[in-house]
Amino acid sequence: MNNIVMEEKRYALLLAARDSDYVKKVYGGYFNVFVAAFGEEGERWDLFRVVEGEFPDMNELQKYDGFVVSGSPFDAYGNDYWIVKLCFLLQILDSIEKKVLGICFGHQVLCRALGGKVGKAYTGWDIGLRRVSMVRDLGSCCFMEELGNEIPQFLSIIECHQDEVWEVPSGAEVIAFSDKTGVEMFTIGDHILGIQGHPEYTKDILYNLIDRLLNNNCIQSDFADTAKLGLEIAEPDRKCWEKICRNFLKGRI
């Protein structure tokens, strides 16, 4: 009998935010939050704290099956050295057609790196639960077409951002939108996926983030209360979002 040895799948989280005290205490860091949401048994996940200037070796990129770019309190259109370096890395990953999943800041910086436009959201902060409309009849987007009826037309997701994608890169396809944000998701081929919301967030993580934004005078108390109330009366569709992200990263199309 021939033994077939399956090569282990390998992924990297490009972490663009510093761990909050709360996430460190409850989850052991954002890395664990992402792996719990998107990882599967038998995989290897590596952590690169790009916000601290820690990047994968360019000679090692081919060893990875996919990359995830996290959210961040920084502006995706900023010119901090690590953000510019991240844009360069994303351009390389696109050129070799490695799978890249961008979340919130990651969604925006992917767009910027590949030729799109990002900036401050025209309608201000979006914090809390948002109902997202999935585009049907996607045509060239094989990945979402394959999921078909497994994904409803409307999905709720946790959001926390004051920036947004203004214009997607050439060749990109917008596959979800909301009444607040015109580009909630975009794809390029089957190797680039950007999601403006946070499929990895649990409600308690957002509650804590709202409190920190309020304490830092980034948002007003009535706005914070409204965001929290929305979380109390509804749930994000985390299972569906995890399915979308896992199927994309694992190439199950």
Q: Which residues are catalytic?
A: 104, 198, 200
Secondary structure (3-state) at 61: helix
Rounded to 5 degrees, φ, ψ at 57 are -65, 130
The residues that bridge with 164 in the sheet, in sequence order, are 119
Q: Using N-to-C axis directions, what is the helix angle for 221-233 and 203-215, rounded to 10°?
A: 170
In the DSSP assignment, the letter for residue 242 is H
Strands (E), 80-207: 99-103, 117-120, 126-134, 154-161, 163-167, 173-177, 185-188, 192-195
DSSP letter assigned to residue 153? S
